[in-house]
Homo-oligomer: A and B are copies of this chain.
């Protein structure tokens, strides 16, 4: 096994031994990901680069920051964590992302795109201030390289007056194929059959920002990588360098090589029903409504928009991993009378926060945010949980927030959105396993009574998973002769004031797949703050980051089990 291999041992190996180490790493990655889910093709493409980095540099004394961080598996295996890969992404197992708390070899945690260059500069600046002399490396994919944060960091390199190595790992893909003029420029640099001199002249964009540009256009050629990195390591004392390498996403695994988008992230059960509903419904609506446009930030397929992009290419925009630009683009389209839908994962919507407030909501423009992977997302851990969205959206004026009980209601909410005149957010988890009966017509701020109870307690549950758990609690309580009313609280904003004003139950319980602070329950608690006739208990996530694990086990851990809800109600009615 590779566990225990150190940089020193690598340097004692022949190229042949290193090549077979690469094969072994590749086999381990495939086995772990097939068993546990995770990022397959990006990690397969990174094997030679990672071995070369560990050969040439001296980690953890030298520091490497992986952008997004999903491509760090080989790095983890070469830093004493190969054994942990049997439980990759499971509770208690190795994380699929760099984690400072896991190893000294992980110097900076990542998860969202574009932070690596800024972080490497900060680390390098700290090194300079401390009078130390190690090397600092950022490894960034061509997809992340589109993010504006990278430009901000590049722009300040000369001023910060420090030296770093940025490795652009160019495989032509983010989750979707990489778009944009920067990527075209990278392609030109890599593919023109011109002498090095000519190439150097054409890499002057990077030189303007203070970087030497260098390229290895077969980044899976281990010997070439080691030689080039060795040379660069010396230059880093006095100079910042970009090393542009081409790698093959999915390298060494033919299905992956042929299907890089489908195999970017492998989940244990790919049940993408909400995204399928989004794609189908938007396509149907767009047929009769030329105002409907769709925007994504490099996630066409995983959000269910592939068919829309094929059928309506003139009205479908993938702007790359640029969540802020995507949001402003939507605001402007809406300002001119169009009806844009911005589909995005909950965790990545965080990047658009300011533009949601200023561009969309303060102008009261009819942009619809389709927020996928909301709630606990599970195995990717802290940086990918979609548990903050209700909290960072619920206080924004002019915004309406809807949460469907199941995929059928989601379709109905999308139909509702077509004629809705203001900013609208619809949040939903990845997969749906439940059907909660007929869908009632969707009216803004109107909830649905699912079950009438015995008048002692009402549960206001928000979203599929919360309703499933609340319904489970109701079943348990029914066995004990307690019958709460159960409400599908399908709008978080506005609240159903009429329903709330008419509530007779003295105990009001809320359940949601979101943080407690600032979420749905918090709004309900605030609503009843002056009313001493009601006891309000809110179930949601407490004040800590939620690590990796199964969705159900994490929800149980956080106190959202049907048993815990039922126990509270039984005790407090």
Q: Is the CB of A359 within 8 A of B538?
A: no
* Bound CA–CA A125/B335 (angstroms): 12
Which residue on B lies nearest to A315, using beta carbons? B129
* Bound CA–CA A113/B331 (angstroms): 15
Query: Does A325 belong to the interface (CB within 8 Å)?
Result: yes
Query: Does A148 belong to the interface (CB within 8 Å)?
Result: yes
Q: Please report which residues of chain A, range 120-134, place their CB below 8 angstroms from some CB of chain B when the two chains form the complex.
A: 120-123, 125-127, 129-130
* Bound CA–CA A142/B82 (angstroms): 49
Q: Is the CB of B529 within 8 A of A335?
A: no
A-B contact pairs, 24 of them (CB 8 A): A115-B328, A118-B328, A119-B331, A119-B335, A121-B329, A123-B332, A146-B152, A147-B148, A155-B322, A156-B317, A181-B208, A181-B209, A205-B208, A353-B392, A357-B388, A361-B545, A362-B383, A394-B517, A395-B516, A398-B544, A517-B518, A518-B522, A526-B538, A530-B536
Task: Scan A368-396; emit 1 where CB is below 8 A from any B CB, else 0.
Answer: 00000000000000110000100110111
Query: Does A416 belong to the interface (CB within 8 Å)?
Result: no
Q: Which of the segments A104-112, A280-288, A550-558 contacts the partner chain?
A: A104-112
Q: Please report which residues of chain A, range 478-530, place their CB below 8 angstroms from some CB of chain B when the two chains form the complex.
A: 515-519, 521-523, 525-526, 528-530
Which residue on B lies nearest to A325, using beta carbons? B152
A213 CB to nearest B CB, Å: 14
* Bound CA–CA A397/B314 (angstroms): 42
Which residue on B lies nearest to A111, using beta carbons? B358
Q: Which of B152, B332, B351 contacts A119 (CB 8 A)?
A: B332
Q: Please report which residues of chain A, range 190-232, place their CB below 8 angstroms from some CB of chain B when the two chains form the complex.
A: 204-205, 208-210
A332 CB to nearest B CB, Å: 2
Q: Is the CB of B155 within 8 A of A362?
A: no
Q: Please report which residues of chain A, range 325-369, place their CB below 8 angstroms from some CB of chain B when the two chains form the complex.
A: 325, 328-333, 335-338, 350-351, 353-355, 357-359, 361-363
Taking CB atoms, residues of chain B closer than 8 Å to A91 are none
Q: Is the CB of B395 within 8 A of A122?
A: no
A350 CB to nearest B CB, Å: 4
Q: Is the CB of B355 within 8 A of A354?
A: no
Query: Does A180 belong to the interface (CB within 8 Å)?
Result: yes
Known: A388-B395, A391-B395. A529 touches B536 (CB 8 A): yes
Taking CB atoms, residues of chain B closer than 8 Å to A403 are none
Q: Which of B109, B392, B396 contacts A362 (CB 8 A)?
A: B109
Q: Is the CB of A157 within 8 A of B129?
A: no
Query: Does A543 belong to the interface (CB within 8 Å)?
Result: yes
Query: Does A160 belong to the interface (CB within 8 Å)?
Result: yes
| Copies of this chain per assembly | 2
**Could you say which of A147, A185, A324 has the most chain B C-beta atoms within 10 Å of its C-beta?**
A324
Q: Is the CB of B149 within 8 A of A107?
A: no
Q: Which of B317, B322, B382, B544 contacts A152 (CB 8 A)?
A: B322
Taking CB atoms, residues of chain B closer than 8 Å to A398 are 544-545
Query: Does A179 belong to the interface (CB within 8 Å)?
Result: yes
Q: Is the CB of A148 within 8 A of B158?
A: no
A494 CB to nearest B CB, Å: 8
Q: Which of B122, B320, B392 contacts A332 (CB 8 A)?
A: B122
Query: Does A14 belong to the interface (CB within 8 Å)?
Result: no
Q: Is the CB of B208 within 8 A of A180?
A: no
A211 CB to nearest B CB, Å: 10
Query: Does A182 belong to the interface (CB within 8 Å)?
Result: yes
* Bound CA–CA A298/B259 (angstroms): 45
A488 CB to nearest B CB, Å: 21
10 tightest CB-CB pairs across the interface, nearest first? A148-B148, A122-B332, A126-B336, A151-B151, A118-B328, A152-B325, A395-B517, A152-B322, A518-B518, A350-B354
Taking CB atoms, residues of chain B closer than 8 Å to A330 are 122
* Bound CA–CA A382/B397 (angstroms): 11
Beyond A158-B184, A532-B532: 15 further Cβ-contacts under 8 Å? Answer: A112-B358, A122-B336, A148-B150, A149-B328, A155-B181, A156-B180, A159-B318, A350-B353, A350-B357, A362-B545, A397-B544, A522-B522, A529-B529, A530-B537, A531-B535
* Bound CA–CA A335/B388 (angstroms): 24
Query: Does A9 belong to the interface (CB within 8 Å)?
Result: no
* Bound CA–CA A155/B320 (angstroms): 9
Query: Does A137 belong to the interface (CB within 8 Å)?
Result: no
* Bound CA–CA A515/B396 (angstroms): 9
Known: A179-B159, A317-B160, A394-B517. A535 touches B530 (CB 8 A): yes
Query: Does A533 belong to the interface (CB within 8 Å)?
Result: yes
Query: Does A319 belong to the interface (CB within 8 Å)?
Result: yes
Q: Which of B148, B204, B363, B537 contacts A529 (CB 8 A)?
A: B537
